[in-house]
Chain A
Amino acid sequence: DAKTTQPPSMDCAEGRAANLPCNHSTISGNEYVYWYRQIHSQGPQYIIHGLKNNETNEMASLIITEDRKSSTLILPHATLRDTAVYYCIVPVTYSGGSNYKLTFGKGTLLTVNP
């Protein structure tokens, strides 16, 4: 199972881009990278996921390096409401490779400052 490494905390100024790194050097060719975040007292919230190509949605962009050993989640214009713990996860898949579960680490606490 590919494990991930994230910094425990980061700070970002409101309105600036937040770039959250993640290392997953043992990832295999067919494993996805998922990002979730958890705002205080709420359940985790799905942000984005990808396999090889960079991905973008209304919440964020995901940049995956060509060797797939690391990725960066980008929040283009961080707001105070983006303060949360961000989790980078390589899911564990079951036989057949389709069904999966998430194994959470400790994530990165992103604090957006005014």
Chain B
Amino acid sequence: GAGVSQTPSNKVTEKGKYVELRCDPISGHTALYWYRQSLGQGPEFLIYFQGTGAADDSGLPNDRFFAVRPEGSVSTLKIQRTERGDSAVYLCASSLTGTVYNSPLHFGNGTRLTVT
């Protein structure tokens, strides 16, 4: 079946611009996660949604980063006034219920963001 889809796969933007990254989770998955991965590092947690609400946004680095999931399915990660340090691969994951017992995360292949 269809997995987690992220668009675009690559995004190049100039410093100071605004970008939106989209995530289409697996249909029916209630939990959705955003991660950021820099070169040579493991993925770093940004935010977790359970349904429409952000249950944990403690990983967002500053107020330039914002994410929404208005209807409990598709999510958008928004970055204002981009900086060169924002360059990374942004990963999205979803899970059926978000429960640790039996609901593993399924990841997309990410959006590679390059800020020039």
Contacts and interface: CB of A to CB of B under 8 A. Distances in A.
B109 A104 contact: no
A101 B99 contact: no
B38 to A, nearest CB: 12
B106 interface: yes
Interface in B91-113: 91, 93, 98-101, 104-110
A46 B104 contact: yes
Nearest to A91: B100
Contacts of A91: 100
A114 to B, nearest CB: 25
Nearest to A49: B104
A106 B44 CA distance: 11
A45 interface: yes
B42 A43 contact: no
Interface in A18-71: 32, 34, 36, 41-46, 49
Contacts of B100: 32, 91, 93, 97-100
Interface of B: 4, 31, 33, 35, 41-45, 48, 50, 55-56, 91, 93, 98-101, 104-110
26 contacts: A32-B100, A32-B101, A41-B109, A43-B4, A43-B93, A43-B107, A44-B107, A45-B107, A46-B104, A46-B106, A85-B42, A93-B100, A94-B55, A94-B56, A97-B100, A98-B100, A99-B48, A99-B50, A99-B98, A99-B99, A100-B98, A101-B33, A103-B45, A104-B35, A104-B44, A106-B41
